[in-house]
Amino acid sequence: MSKKNSPIILLAEDDLFLQRMYVDKLKQEGIEVVVASDGEKALELMRKQKPVMVLLDILMPKKDGFEVLEEAKQDPKLKSIPIILLTNLSEVDDVKRAQKLGADDYLIKSHFLPSEVIEVVRKYL
């Protein structure tokens, strides 16, 4: 169960190495993390866990990050949750699409150290 007053964030990432790395970093910062390895699970956990924010990969099985983002922002119970896309997609069109769908931020994995990702997460907590 979650610790009292500990923020929960959802990490939606299908790469197990990256998943473990970000979970470890976030836990070191005292942030509780729930993990989804596909888009359907991400939406399910958003509804169940009510995270304070979501770190969302785009390229995932079942539903991609764009589909998750779009569905979440159309759901009155989820639309206020900040969603940060954390992806390797760096095309301008992808960034624009994410902004249009309501992403709160867009981080390209190869441009950010894990510690820098944590700094961005802190801004939303």
Averaged over 66-91, what is the pLDDT?
A: 95
Give the pLDDT of residue 1.
Answer: 41
Query: Phi and psi dihedrals of 56, rounded to 5?
Result: -125, 120
- 8 Å CB contact between 81 and 75: no
Please report whether residue 20 resides in a domain.
Answer: yes
Asked if residue 3 is part of any domain, the answer here is no
DSSP 8-state class, residue 51? -
pLDDT band at 3 (very low <50, low <70, confident <90, very high): very low
Mean pLDDT confidence for 105-124:
92
Here the CATH number for the domain that contains residue 19 is 3.40.50.2300
The predicted structure's pLDDT at residue 4: 52
Asked if the structure places residue 84 within a domain, the reply is: yes
> Which residues form the domain of 80?
8-60+68-124
According to DSSP, the residues that pair with 56 across neighbouring strands are 12, 85
Flag whether 118 is in a domain: yes
Asked, for residue 97, whether it belongs to a domain, the answer is yes
Number of domains comprising the chain:
1
2 occurs within a structural domain: no
The residue among 91, 80, 41 whose CA lies nearest residue 11 is 41
> What is the per-residue pLDDT for 125?
84
Instruction: Kindly state the helix (H) or strand (E) to which residue 42 belongs, with its residue range.
Output: helix 39-49
Q: Is residue 74 part of a domain?
A: yes
* Mean predicted lDDT score pLDDT of the chain: 92
Kindly state whether residue 1 falls inside one of the protein's structural domains. Answer: no
